A and B are shown apart, each in its own frame.
Chain A
């Protein structure tokens, strides 16, 4: 059997992650082409019916390890390694995020397996999976094949869409796993802390994104004034959220939100892949950056090479004047 095993991440309320659901749908589609089955791994006390509902996304079986904790990679490596070895899965697939990278990497070591990350597409060739991965700031795409089994595929955020079908219900199988000694040496103290105030960026049709180029926390007021003039909200990169300049709730990207406003105006943002994946589907992308080689200029619709401190105040005034007139 050349089955595909997917890790289904959930939050503390037991809600499954959208990217994990996407990975299950993708695995089901690919497994169909391989003449095999897709299955999911779930850790923690997730009720039977919630696990069974993963069948609607294409999982034939759900392996549930009730005693393993959610949120840290290594216990989940133990669970997945056991299921893969005992059930003979040929591939492990992860949706985009952070834990998938860590679990996939752990499996690579544990099972001496090949791994490809940031995968945007998976195809079937000669009964095997081939992963497409953009490299070098998305300037080329490589096709990666696997020697031996299993093959580990870590998707890029939002690469795989979750598609629900009617009536699918997965068989739930409980697995007992003895955790490795070193898997119990990291303990979650607090999970998913929201730093900064709760702002809403997902409903805004216009977003002004602020990055490290703003220079300091106080300069976010430039972005706020411009957003105010345009009738939009302010978003941020991880760099400035980690630095405490802006609330986590406003962060866009791999470990933040995914948005697709009518206008995304990036101010002092380099356009790293992990940011791009959260905003690349915006209808119009306008970037202001002083570095002509910034990656954001590779995927924006209008790029302005210049100092945002000079441009933004004037732009705010001009937008106000235009709207007033």
Chain B
């Protein structure tokens, strides 16, 4: 079985994220990292491989993004992927969810995966939707926010929390599954794996290579447009206490509660 893991390079959590008012896109300068939510997808692939229920021939990490995004692929390989696919093209810049999902599906089509795994969300875009967009283009069944996957007999049995509690769903392969962060504890890559990551095969493809219709991607091919960026509704800032002397901190909390008649 072949598993493709979608990964994305995102601004590091410690970086103050902001929108560039001139382009109305996310300012992607500064430290970047592999989207932490995607490490759970790679870990899930590794656990399927190590679980031995099915034989996993290949784990391929796939990303769409600028040149710098190869670093996310290197990290994915260090975590266990066997090789990578980098979809990159000027024409893709500024793609919205509709265009990104279409482009990623095109890149995946040629790979013919049995299973596509994704993270529950990108740390910068927080759209929660790419998985289901990709799935419909690939004509595959799909679930998001999955926290347990059992593989057997060409099927997955998945669990996830939806509106009314936990659902258990049987999904035929090939399928697209986005995993919740409770699914596993991603391992740390070994130093050897980190050092070896750059030597693993990495294929770079442009829009034409995977048959992407260029008028369906990029800013021009996108179906949404950011018209304005505004500050959030003003909220009175709360009071902040740094706990230095815990007895004093507790006294202040009790006084605060008392003032509001909460005790």
Contacts and interface: CB of A to CB of B under 8 A. Distances in A.
Contacts of B262: 206, 230, 262-263, 284
Contacts of B132: 73, 101-102, 105-106, 109
B129 A311 contact: no
Contact of B241 (A183, A230, A302): A302
Given A101-B144, A106-B135, A113 B223 contact: yes
Interface string A310-324: 110011001100110
Contacts of A323: 263
B128 A101 contact: yes
A282 to B, nearest CB: 11
A17 B239 CA distance: 37
Contacts of A284: 260, 262
A182 B140 contact: yes
Nearest to B173: A185
Interface string B234-259: 01001111110011011101101110
A117 B133 CA distance: 13
A248 B161 contact: yes
8 contacts: A117-B129, A118-B126, A140-B18, A142-B230, A145-B227, A186-B169, A300-B238, A303-B241
A252 to B, nearest CB: 13
Contacts of B157: 189
Given A77-B136, A182-B141, A323-B263, A193 B128 contact: no
Interface string B126-153: 1111111111110111111101000000
Interface of A is mostly: mixed
A314 B246 contact: yes
A310 B253 CA distance: 14
B205 interface: no
- 5 tightest Cβ-Cβ pairs between the two chains A and B: A306-B243, A114-B223, A242-B182, A105-B132, A192-B164
Interface in A197-235: 206, 230
A147 B225 contact: yes
A203 to B, nearest CB: 17
Given A147-B225, A248-B166, A303 B240 contact: yes
A8 interface: no
A86 interface: no
A242 B180 contact: yes
Contact of A186 (B163, B172, B239, B242): B172
Interface residues of A, number: 94
Contacts of B260: 263, 284
Contacts of A194: 165-166
Nearest to A19: B163
B144 A102 contact: yes
A192 B97 contact: no
B172 A185 contact: yes
Contacts of A109: 98, 101-102, 105, 132-137
A81 B89 CA distance: 31
A319 B96 contact: no
Contacts of B131: 105
B152 to A, nearest CB: 13
A116 B248 CA distance: 46
B55 interface: no
B33 interface: no
B162 A255 contact: yes
A147 B165 contact: no
A136 B15 CA distance: 11
A186 B141 contact: yes
Contact of B224 (A145, A189, A304): A145
A115 interface: yes
A210 to B, nearest CB: 15
Given A74-B141, A109-B132, 18 more contacts: A72-B169, A98-B163, A106-B142, A112-B216, A112-B223, A115-B224, A135-B126, A141-B231, A143-B229, A146-B223, A151-B224, A154-B129, A187-B169, A230-B263, A305-B243, A306-B241, A311-B249, A322-B254
